[in-house]
Amino acid sequence: MEGAVQAYVSALQYNPDLYCVRSDLGNLLKALGRLEEAKACYLKAIETQPNFAVAWSNLGCVFNAQGEIWLAIHHFEKAVTLDPNFLDAYINLGNVLKEARIFDRAVAAYLRALSLSPNHAVVHGNLACVYYEQGLIDLAIDTYRRAIELQPHFPDAYCNLANALKEKGSVAEAEDCYNTALRLCPTHADSLNNLANIKREQGNIEEAVRLYRKALEVFPEFAAAHSNLASVLQQQGKLQEALMHYKEAIRISPTFADAYSNMGNTLKEMQDVQGALQCYTRAIQINPAFADAHSNLASIHKDSGNIPEAIASYRTALKLKPDFPDAYCNLAHCLQIVCDWTDYDERMKKLVSIVADQLEKNRLPSVHPHHSMLYPLSHGFRKAIAERHGNLCLDKINVLHKPLYEHPKDLKLSDGRLRVGYVSSDFGNHPTSHLMQSIPGMHNPDKFEVFCYALSPDDGTNFRVKVMAEANHFIDLSQIPCNGKAADRIHQDGIHILINMNGYTKGARNELFALRPAPIQAMWLGYPGTSGALFMDYIITDQETSPAEVAEQYSEKLAYMPHTFFIGDHANMFPHLKKKAVIDFKSNGHIYDNRIVLNGIDLKAFLDSLPDVKIVKMKCPDGGDNADSSNTALNMPVIPMNTIAEAVIEMINRGQIQITINGFSISNGLATTQINNKAATGEEVPRTIIVTTRSQYGLPEDAIVYCNFNQLYKIDPSTLQMWANILKRVPNSVLWLLRFPAVGEPNIQQYAQNMGLPQNRIIFSPVAPKEEHVRRGQLADVCLDTPLCNGHTTGMDVLWAGTPMVTMPGETLASRVAASQLTCLGCLELIAKSRQEYEDIAVKLGTDLEYLKKIRGKVWKQRISSPLFNTKQYTMELERLYLQMWEHYAAGNKPDHMIKPVEVTESA
């Protein structure tokens, strides 16, 4: 070609005015990529012959190639003005207007071209593309068909026709068109990619992957195919490979906003929050109108606890794309977290309709299973939401093509011991470990071999150390990210019963259970609902939490514990709260057990060192069903107001950390973190005498203090209305809540004022370290439970503090846990059957101080004598249930309800 260039140059040296030759030289230079030289040739040709339309059109092509769209449009328009019958110029003008998304003018250019050449198939195809972009799908389909009629061997037209048919919902016909395009041109990359998209949507993931890889084999620089393949790989859990393809997509197309957003999703799943945040931010910078990126950014803010920022981003996403179910449902959850109940009823109606529509269309619902109990969904909907997520796990593991595991039918290989595997991401400083950390070490080693499988890395806490030390085997599966290999490890251990402690909570790997590495798999403790999954056999629960008549709410078979399925390790973590003493402060003859409270392991020795300590007998029922049963008395030490008591009170008032009295360290209850951080988190037992007072939290000394220490998302308008009614009926009372989160406080205060309560009737405190959180519960008179979703761990916390809890069980597992705890505790009188009864119980406790004293005494006594906090007895009962499950399986039976629990005693 260089020789041809020289020939043209030589000709022009002899006659510089040969404008046609100069234009032809420009074409040659353009083909060689020498655009600036080509541009100079065309300009010189125009200078020689200003009406030479071909040079104007060719110059437009150069400007288009250089990205100078407006100059290109100008030169094409000049060309067709000079030559109204210039077909190629009209086609080029239509093409550049189409790329510039100036669709009306593009249509006009193509129609003019077709008036000159009615049977030009490519122009029909390009015109159809414009109609498609304008949303004129039917017109686009007709025009694509005309292009194919004119040129039957036109793979681009078949591919584009398929795109339009798919948009219209004619997926089968679209699939046929993609296949036709590929028969005509087996290396048609767009058809390979788009057909892969259909296969993916049909659930044929392997075929989708094969087609994406084929598209990339044909066209390695195909950014969209890299991004689409990455998305499927992410779905399969192949995160590193997915990340590699997203990076390739972005390398090829640096302004590929979708790839940035999806790469952010992958990084988020890999726990790289900062990387995900950067990707979402970059996607929005590229395309500020990218609703999905705004929604993804909101999810990062939500997970990081930045709820106001999350709300703002979700609202931006919904402004950009009003029909965006994921953004709407996640926004609804954020608003629930901060108690923003604006248009609450309408929001709930819309949310339910979204879920109904998604379930009807067999789509993954936008409401997460763990959030479903917060909304007025039917039991069928809640179960179906969980089922969809369970099926998603099956989809992920199906691509592994793992053969079914063979399971043991007897205990010969384990020396007659039942091998139980506990799987959790929460072996560390987490409420789940706070509840069950002692159980692995309490199993009977002659009959049970305990395996604990951690799904999260070591957090360095004593909670992790304890489980690691006391389980027979501790395996860190966070170091085995491949679900197939992790399941192999579980199976190699010969597990008989595998326990799922996560459900659909953060850190779960339900894919392990979907692979069925154990013959019996059960849900327990960590998730308040059904898994909806075929691969979970049992849910360990109890008669109060999951009555047999609602068994259809669960995909699992019910396996009952004799008392409650819930347990707390409070007696081991907080033994210093088993006893307390009080200071007789401003009592006016009435001794209060919750104004100034002292607790400590050495409390008795300290009290023995003091003069004038009185023992007051607190009457309490003996554990019958109501407070009128025969009474026994509890001894409560009372320190009179003397110099010792004054020194303690002065320490609190002055904000001192610690003082020494008679050789004993007396510490300010607000300073446990400064004195011993591990004691503050509950990892160690405090060694000082700790003083806890109402004044530390701004609580009135002379009022009834109702409390609730749950996260605020568990409060709904009807619950706050009940609480407001109670406070109105008990004038000398306040409600003590947590800033959990702090941004919810002004909303609660405003709604309460709208209900007729002044702001000083609700007192908020910050969230506290675990030990302080449990200990300060002693200061409240009564806990008012949230009926929507009970306090589960927080219910145990407040009961261990000796504070009565009023509850009203609903119809979901999450709304019945507190009733189960109170039933086990022997305090049925605190369980209401209606909203009115809930209010009446709370009001009686707040107005009948003798009755309140009896109930408080009963709770204080029963937390020690009932099975509720007896982890040893609980473990024995759990073992009995495990043996029932195994015997049933070993006899060749399918899982069935086990609703006749066998009660055991600790001495058994």
What would the pLDDT profile of 499-535 be if each residue is shown by its tens digit?
999 999 999 999 999 999 999 999 999 999 999 999 9
- What is the distance in angstroms between the CA of the first residue and the CA of the last residue of the chain? 98
Q: What confidence score (pLDDT) does residue 908 get?
A: 42
The model's pLDDT over 683-735, given as tens digits with 9 standing for 90+, comes to 999 999 999 999 999 999 999 999 999 999 999 999 999 999 999 999 999 99
**Largest Cα–Cα distance in the chain?**
126
SS3 label, residue 797 = helix
Can you name the residues that pair with 454 across neighbouring β-strands? 424, 476
Q: Is pLDDT at 7 greater than 60 in this prediction?
A: no
Residue type, 503: G
Mean of the per-residue pLDDT values of the chain: 93
Candidates 3.30.365.10, 1.25.40.10, 2.102.10.10, 3.40.1180.10; correct CATH number of 190-269? 1.25.40.10
Q: How far is the C-alpha of 328 from the C-alpha of 318, rounded, in Å?
A: 7
Q: What is the helix (H) or strand (E) element at residue 114, kind and residue range?
A: helix 103-116
Task: Provide the CATH topology of domain 289-399.
Answer: 1.25.40
E-state strands within 406-447: 418-424
Dihedral sign for Cα 166, 167, 169, 173, please.
negative
Confidence of residue 37 (pLDDT cuts 50, 70, 90): confident
Distances (CA, A) of 783 to 382, 663, 765: 28, 36, 15
- Mean pLDDT, range 628-653, rounded to an integer: 86
Distances (CA, A) of 423 to 271, 469, 513, 741, 743: 20, 16, 10, 30, 34
Cβ atoms 561, 901 nearer than 8 A: yes
| pTM of the full structure | 0.89
Q: What confidence score (pLDDT) does residue 399 get?
A: 79
Give the architecture-level CATH label for domain 413-559: 3-Layer(aba) Sandwich (3.40)
Cβ atoms 310, 302 nearer than 8 A: yes
SS3 label, residue 830 = helix
Q: Is pLDDT at 40 greater than 90 in this prediction?
A: no
Q: Could you tell me how far CA 82 lies from the centroid of its own chain?
A: 63
Q: What confidence score (pLDDT) does residue 1 get?
A: 62
Q: What confidence score (pLDDT) does residue 36 get?
A: 78
For the record, the structure tokens of 858 come out as 């009963």
Instruction: Burial-class residue 365 by CB neighbours within 10 Å (0-12, 13-18, 19+).
Output: buried
Q: How far is the C-alpha of 841 from the C-alpha of 706, rounded, in Å?
A: 12
For the record, the structure tokens of 737 come out as 């809540």
Beginning with the edge strand found earlier in the chain, give each strand of the sheet holding 596-599 in spatial order. 614-621, 631-639, 581-583, 596-599, 689-693, 664-668, 658-661
- Cα atoms in the Cβ-side hemisphere of radius 13 Å centred on 671: 18
Distances (CA, A) of 82 to 54, 284, 854: 9, 43, 102
| Closest of 518, 476, 478, 483 to residue 500, by C-alpha | 518
Cβ atoms 453, 477 nearer than 8 A: yes
Q: How far is the C-alpha of 207 from the C-alpha of 185, rounded, in Å?
A: 19
Q: How far is the C-alpha of 773 from the C-alpha of 766, rounded, in Å?
A: 10
Q: How far is the C-alpha of 191 from the C-alpha of 789, rounded, in Å?
A: 50
Q: What confidence score (pLDDT) does residue 32 get?
A: 66
Cα angle for residues 311, 316, 321 (degrees, 5° grid):
125
Pairing relationship of beta strands 704-707 and 733-738 according to DSSP bridges? parallel
Q: Token pair 């003083």 is at which residue?
A: 691
Cβ atoms 327, 298 nearer than 8 A: yes
DSSP per-residue codes, 220-281: TT-HHHHHHHHHHHHHTT-HHHHHHHHHHHHHH-TT-HHHHHHHHHHHHHTT-HHHHHHHHH
Mention every residue, 6+ apart, whose C-beta is less than 8 A from residue 377. Answer: 352, 355, 367, 385
The model's pLDDT over 361-420, given as tens digits with 9 standing for 90+, comes to 999 999 999 999 999 999 999 999 999 999 999 988 987 889 999 998 898 888 999 999
Q: What is the helix (H) or strand (E) element at residue 58, kind and residue range?
A: helix 53-65
Q: Is pLDDT at 10 greater than 60 in this prediction?
A: no
Q: How far is the C-alpha of 26 from the C-alpha of 848, rounded, in Å?
A: 101
**Domain locations in the chain?**
119-185, 190-269, 289-399, 413-559, 571-621+632-696, 702-868
The model's pLDDT over 201-213, given as tens digits with 9 standing for 90+, comes to 988 889 999 999 9
DSSP per-residue codes, 560-577: E-SS-S----HHHH-GGG
Mention every residue, 6+ apart, whose C-beta is less than 8 A from residue 758. Answer: none
Candidates 1.25.40.10, 3.30.465.10, 2.30.30.110, 1.10.10.10; correct CATH number of 119-185? 1.25.40.10
Cβ atoms 685, 575 nearer than 8 A: yes
Q: What confidence score (pLDDT) does residue 751 get?
A: 98
Q: Token pair 């605190």 is at which residue?
A: 830
Q: Which residues are catalytic?
A: 370
The model's pLDDT over 118-143, given as tens digits with 9 standing for 90+, comes to 999 999 999 999 999 999 999 999 99
SS3 label, residue 522 = strand
Q: What confidence score (pLDDT) does residue 9 get?
A: 55
Mention every residue, 6+ apart, whose C-beta is less than 8 A from residue 635. Answer: 615, 616, 617, 618
Domain 413-559 matches domain 702-868 at the CATH topology level: yes
Task: State what percent of residues in the chain have pLDDT above 70.
Answer: 94
Q: How far is the C-alpha of 575 from the C-alpha of 208, rounded, in Å?
A: 58
Range of weakest confidence among 37-46, 171-180, 522-531, 722-731? 37-46
What is the CATH number assigned to the segment(s) 702-868? 3.40.50.2000
Q: How far is the C-alpha of 625 from the C-alpha of 862, rounded, in Å?
A: 12
Q: How far is the C-alpha of 172 from the C-alpha of 166, rounded, in Å?
A: 8
Can you name the residues that pair with 898 across neighbouring β-strands? 559
Q: Is pLDDT at 27 greater than 80 in this prediction?
A: no
Q: Token pair 């269309």 is at which residue?
A: 361
Cβ atoms 81, 73 nearer than 8 A: no
Q: How far is the C-alpha of 793 from the C-alpha of 805, rounded, in Å?
A: 13
Give rounded-to-5 percent helix, strand, coil for the chain.
55, 10, 35
What is the CATH number assigned to the segment(s) 571-621+632-696? 3.30.720.150
Q: How far is the C-alpha of 363 from the C-alpha of 269, rounded, in Å?
A: 21
Cα angle for residues 700, 702, 706 (degrees, 5° grid):
65
Cβ atoms 28, 8 nearer than 8 A: yes
Beginning with the edge strand found earlier in the chain, give each strand of the sheet holding 418-424 in spatial order. 473-476, 448-454, 418-424, 497-500, 520-523, 538-541, 557-560
Cβ atoms 151, 121 nearer than 8 A: yes
Residue type, 888: H
Pairing relationship of beta strands 689-693 and 664-668 according to DSSP bridges? parallel
- CB atoms near residue 51 (< 10 Å): 11
Range of weakest confidence among 336-350, 438-452, 542-556, 888-902? 888-902
Q: Token pair 């599966």 is at which residue?
A: 477
- Cα atoms in the Cβ-side hemisphere of radius 13 Å centred on 368: 15
Q: Token pair 């009963």 is at which residue?
A: 858
Mention every residue, 6+ apart, whose C-beta is less than 8 A from residue 47. Answer: none
- Mean pLDDT, range 245-257, rounded to an integer: 98
The model's pLDDT over 216-249, given as tens digits with 9 standing for 90+, comes to 999 999 999 999 999 999 988 889 999 999 999 9
The model's pLDDT over 278-300, given as tens digits with 9 standing for 90+, comes to 999 999 999 999 999 999 999 99
Peptide bond into 731 cis (omega under 30): no
DSSP per-residue codes, 680-738: HTTSS---SEEEEEGGGGT--TTSEEEE--S-GGG--HHHHHHHHHHHHHSSSEEEEEE
Distances (CA, A) of 818 to 299, 544, 810: 31, 10, 10
Q: What confidence score (pLDDT) does residue 590 get?
A: 80
Q: What confidence score (pLDDT) does residue 5 get?
A: 54
